[in-house]
């Protein structure tokens, strides 16, 4: 299957012919009968050691066929050998950090990152020491005990693009994790740029309907085995019903992303011309930082944008209160449009200095554009922006 639109529809369905089913079966078993003890023991050993499957699933913390199907589907979309699913995006990142902590102590991290990822890394909770650097400093800051480089692109919430190939080159033998949540495999496939792990909060675009919390890590089979072992030991599982919902959302992924992106492009252009708006962060606008990566690393600018209001916190709060069609809420990547205030919500866990350095000002709002009709979205935003106390005169 060579074209993405076909893969989104058909991936993770290889066993349907043998099962004689047309839709993914949902297996809620917590345990599986072991009638042949020798097979059971061999399966148990294989799964604990990180095998993708075994003759007997044994126990749902070790393997679940419904989860394995969506993992296979997402691996196909990312172009990786494997994918390992977790209870959330944060559980997925935690698993990589725990696995890395077996090999060394030092992690290089490029800001800005998703607020809780930043917090998890900075806290040292997983036994690693995070050093926050600019992308250009990676080569100079590598140490003998550096076991991981973490980047997010596009980044949250200012939609910075980070050059994955340049980071991989600077990291040398140190493996790189790319949080590609904002891009989805429709717009960017970091493994093709040399990333070792591609992480998604599948809660966002992959799930796409605001009803699943999930995380995935796409990588080669050797690294996937290590992550499955961590998952079997720590139990941060994706529930089969969540996996089933996630799989159900995938066939429309490319359509959703393309439509939402087209909406976002038009809204970004109109916001940039609006008198209440001081600045718009969107990779699809002329003059955006690292815009040269569009068309090479990333095939389109995506469906997220942020904008800075002249009127600071007061105007941002007013817009959150006034929107009627858009939902004022955290999260992103759903079919419906969400608007939120990073300084007051998602990036609250960062200290004030880090927020300021990352461009997260009191007047910044982030929009996750959905698949509604763009004129309805614009009408809602325009009425929310009308007559703001601090709007600049035209
Ligand atoms: C939401 C998000 C996460 C965390 O994922 P959860 O599923 O909420 O645990 C990590 N990275 C990015 C970029 C996100 O948007």
Per residue in 213-252, pLDDT (tens digit) is: 999 999 999 999 999 999 999 999 999 999 999 999 999 9
**pLDDT given at position 392:** 53
Where are the alpha helices (H) located in the chain, listed in sequence order? 4-10, 16-19, 37-48, 65-78, 89-100, 115-123, 138-141, 164-171, 184-187, 221-234, 240-249, 253-272, 312-322, 352-357, 374-385
**pLDDT given at position 124:** 94
Catalytic residue among 69, 100, 111, 114: 114
Catalytic residue among 204, 228, 256, 259: 204
Instruction: Please report the atom of ligand 1 found closest to the CA of residue 202.
Output: 7
Cβ burial, residue 246 (10 Å; 0-12/13-18/19+): buried
Q: 203 CB under 6 A from ligand 1?
A: yes
59 given a catalytic annotation: no
279 given a catalytic annotation: no
- How far apart are the C-alpha atoms of 305 and 280, rounded to whole Å? 7
Instruction: Please report the atom of ligand 1 found closest to the CA of residue 213.
Output: 7
179 given a catalytic annotation: yes
69 given a catalytic annotation: no
Residue nearest to atom 4 of ligand 1 (CA): 89
Residue 299's alpha-carbon distances to 76, 130, 181, 292, 322, in angstroms, are 18, 31, 15, 11, 34
**pLDDT given at position 269:** 98
**pLDDT given at position 55:** 97
pTM: 0.96
- How far apart are the C-alpha atoms of 109 and 141, rounded to whole Å? 11
**pLDDT given at position 349:** 79
**Ligand 1 centroid from CA 151, angstroms:** 13
Q: Note the pLDDT tens digit of each residue in 78-137.
A: 999 999 999 999 999 999 999 999 999 999 999 988 989 999 999 999 999 999 999 999
pLDDT means over runs of 10, the chain (394 residues): 89 96 97 97 97 97 98 98 98 98 97 91 96 97 98 92 97 98 98 98 98 98 98 97 98 98 98 96 90 93 97 95 96 97 88 85 96 98 87 49
Q: 181 CB under 6 A from ligand 1?
A: yes
Instruction: Please report the atom of ligand 1 found closest to the CA of residue 92.
Output: 9
- Identify the structural domains of the chain with CATH numbers, from first to last: 253-385 (3.90.1150.10)
- The mean pLDDT of the chain is 95
- CB neighbours of 92 closer than 8 A, spacing ≥ 6? 84, 85, 86, 199, 200, 201, 215, 216, 217, 236
């Amino acid at each position: 299957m060579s074209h993405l639109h076909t893969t989104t529809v058909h991936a993770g369905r290889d066993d349907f012919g043998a099962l004689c089913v047309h839709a993914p079966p949902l297996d809620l078993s917590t345990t599986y009968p072991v009638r042949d003890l020798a097979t059971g023991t061999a399966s148990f050993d294989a799964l604990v050691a990180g095998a993708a499957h075994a003759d007997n699933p044994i126990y749902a913390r070790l393997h679940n066929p419904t989860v394995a199907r969506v993992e296979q589907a997402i691996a196909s979309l990312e172009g990786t050998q494997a994918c390992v699913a977790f209870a959330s995006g944060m559980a997925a990142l935690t698993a990589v950090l725990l696995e890395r902590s077996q090999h060394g102590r030092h992690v290089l991290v490029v800001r800005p990152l998703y607020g809780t990822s930043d917090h998890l890394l900075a806290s040292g909770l997983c036994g690693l020491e995070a050093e926050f650097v600019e992308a250009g400093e990676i080569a100079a800051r590598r140490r003998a005990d550096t076991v991981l480089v973490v980047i997010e692109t596009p980044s949250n919430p200012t939609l910075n693009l980070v050059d994955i190939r340049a980071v991989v080159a600077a990291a040398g033998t140190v493996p790189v994790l790319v949080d590609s949540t904002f891009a989805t495999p429709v717009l960017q496939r970091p493994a093709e740029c040399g990333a070792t792990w591609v992480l998604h909060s599948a809660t966002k675009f992959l799930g796409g309907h605001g009803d699943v919390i999930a995380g995935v890590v796409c990588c080669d089979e050797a690294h996937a085995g290590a992550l499955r072992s961590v998952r079997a030991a720590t139990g941060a599982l994706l529930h089969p019903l969540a996996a089933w919902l996630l799989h159900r959302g995938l066939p429309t992924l490319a359509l959703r992303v393309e439509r939402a992106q087209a909406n976002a492009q038009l809204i970004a252009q109109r916001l940039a011309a609006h008198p209440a708006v001081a600045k718009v962060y969107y990779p699809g606008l002329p003059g955006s930082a690292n815009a040269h990566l569009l068309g090479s690393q990333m095939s389109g600018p995506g469906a997220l944008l942020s904008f800075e209001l002249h009127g600071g916190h007061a105007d941002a709060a007013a817009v959150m209160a006034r929107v009627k069609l858009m939902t004022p809420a955290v999260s992103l990547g759903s079919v419906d449009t969400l608007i939120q205030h990073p300084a007051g919500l998602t990036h609250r866990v960062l200290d004030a200095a880090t927020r300021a350095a990352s461009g997260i000002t009191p007047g910044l709002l982030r929009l996750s554009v959905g698949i509604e009709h763009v004129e309805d979205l614009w009408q809602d935003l325009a009425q929310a922006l009308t007559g703001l106390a601090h709007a600049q005169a035209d």
